[in-house]
């Protein structure tokens, strides 16, 4: 009795999940990569970090728990997934941002230093207000993955208001589905009904105090520690994104961030790009390669940062799979950063 379906067949009417379509497990883009690091990929379907379907029956209750914890779409008797037609799922297939310099790229250091030396004020540098306000649109923060490896995630718009003493309020609006590839869109179109409406935010909710969410360091050495210069360039890129989504970064600190990135080996200059919101920017990337026994199994990932060519602000971040597939795993768009006296 080694497969999930055999376990469920044995349970029969006692199966608590009988006739119920269990939702697939949620994975973040980081989970996708961690799964790749710890799995051997000789088969064409990527391995998943989840409860194994190779379970041993030790009792009805344990077996039922194993079925539920696996979090996969139930299989039919013939081993095929349910394909009953549903209303089409709305959503688009994401395409990677096009780079001005797609090949033969050079180190980003000189270009980042040049940008740091000419940046101008951002709008919030000249504003005042009680709250630091951010509006961020993102996709891929939490993914659903089918047993076959097909991915889907919802677009989320997040607004936040923060005070200098560390208090923070947020609200979130769930928008439509988007897909990393056409095969995933086709699969989920058959499996999920189209959402009726977007799930609007209920209003700002105060978050618990986070001791780590302190004021942005003004000292360059402390800023370098915040940006995790001790880690590979890809991790630094993620730290830069997290800094910009939580702080209004002043002009001098923006210049310091650019020069700190310039000093870090591993960043590559991609030149002029246009982000998903249609804004022109200047881009750098950092790569991660996970070696395998066979060259065709090598997995490569890339982090993209897009900066405003005038102010040096971060406009967008993207997390990409480069091999064996080429697809977007996560994106974040920083759409608005300002001061305001109004909450909500």
- What CA–CA distance (Å, rounded) separates 232 from 321? 17
* C-alpha count within 13 angstroms, C-beta hemisphere, residue 219: 3
Domain spans of the chain?
Answer: 4-70, 109-340
Q: HEC profile for 186-208?
A: HHHHHHCCCCCCCECCCCCEECC
Rounded CA Rg of the chain: 23
What's residue 81's pLDDT? Answer: 35
- The rounded distance, in Å, linking the Cα atoms of 327 and 15 is 38
Q: What is the pLDDT along the chain (344 residues), one digit of tens a residue?
A: 444 444 444 444 444 444 444 444 455 555 555 554 444 444 343 333 332 222 222 222 322 232 232 232 222 222 333 333 344 455 799 999 999 999 999 999 999 999 999 999 999 999 999 999 999 999 999 999 999 999 999 999 999 999 998 899 999 999 989 999 999 999 998 887 765 555 666 789 999 987 666 789 989 999 999 999 999 999 999 999 999 999 999 999 999 999 999 999 999 999 999 999 999 999 999 999 887 777 777 899 999 999 999 999 999 999 999 999 999 999 999 999 999 999 98
pLDDT at position 262 is 99
In the prediction, which pLDDT does 212 show?
64
Residue 72 to residue 5: CA distance in whole angstroms: 11
pTM given for the model: 0.74
pLDDT, residue 203, reads 83
Residue for token digits 């139930």?
74
């Amino acid at each position: 009795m080694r497969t999930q379906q055999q376990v469920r067949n044995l349970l029969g009417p006692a199966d608590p999940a009988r006739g119920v379509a269990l939702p697939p497990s949620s994975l973040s883009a980081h989970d996708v990569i961690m799964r790749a690091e710890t799995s051997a990929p000789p088969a064409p379907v990527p391995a998943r970090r989840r409860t194994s379907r190779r379970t041993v029956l030790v009792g009805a209750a344990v077996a039922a728990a194993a079925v539920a914890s696996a979090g996969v779409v139930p299989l039919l008797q013939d081993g095929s997934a349910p394909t009953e037609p549903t209303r089409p799922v709305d959503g688009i297939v994401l395409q990677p941002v096009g780079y001005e310099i797609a090949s033969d790229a050079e180190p980003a250091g000189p270009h980042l230093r040049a940008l740091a030396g000419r940046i101008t004020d951002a709008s919030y540098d000249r504003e005042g207000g009680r709250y630091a306000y951010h509006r961020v649109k993102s996709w891929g923060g939490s993914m659903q993955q089918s047993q076959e490896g097909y991915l889907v995630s919802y677009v989320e718009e997040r607004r936040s208001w923060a005070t200098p003493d560390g208090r923070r309020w947020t609200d979130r609006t769930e928008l439509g589905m988007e897909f990393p590839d056409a095969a995933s869109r086709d699969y989920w179109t058959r499996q999920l009904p189209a959402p009726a409406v977007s799930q609007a935010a209920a209003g700002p909710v105060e978050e618990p105090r986070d001791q780590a969410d302190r004021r942005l360091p003004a000292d360059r050495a402390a800023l370098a520690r915040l940006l995790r210069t001790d880690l590979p360039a890809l991790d630094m890129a993620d730290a830069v994104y997290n800094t910009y989504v939580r702080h209004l970064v002043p002009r001098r600190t923006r210049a310091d961030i650019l020069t700190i990135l310039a000093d870090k080996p591993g960043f590559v200059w991609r030149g002029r790009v246009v982000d998903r919101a249609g804004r022109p920017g200047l881009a750098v990337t950092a790569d991660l390669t996970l070696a395998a026994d066979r060259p065709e199994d090598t997995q490569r990932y890339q982090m993209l940062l897009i900066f405003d060519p005038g102010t040096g602000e971060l406009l967008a971040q993207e997390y990409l799979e480069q091999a064996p597939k080429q697809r977007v795993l996560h994106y974040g768009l920083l759409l608005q950063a300002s001061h305001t006296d109004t909450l909500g």
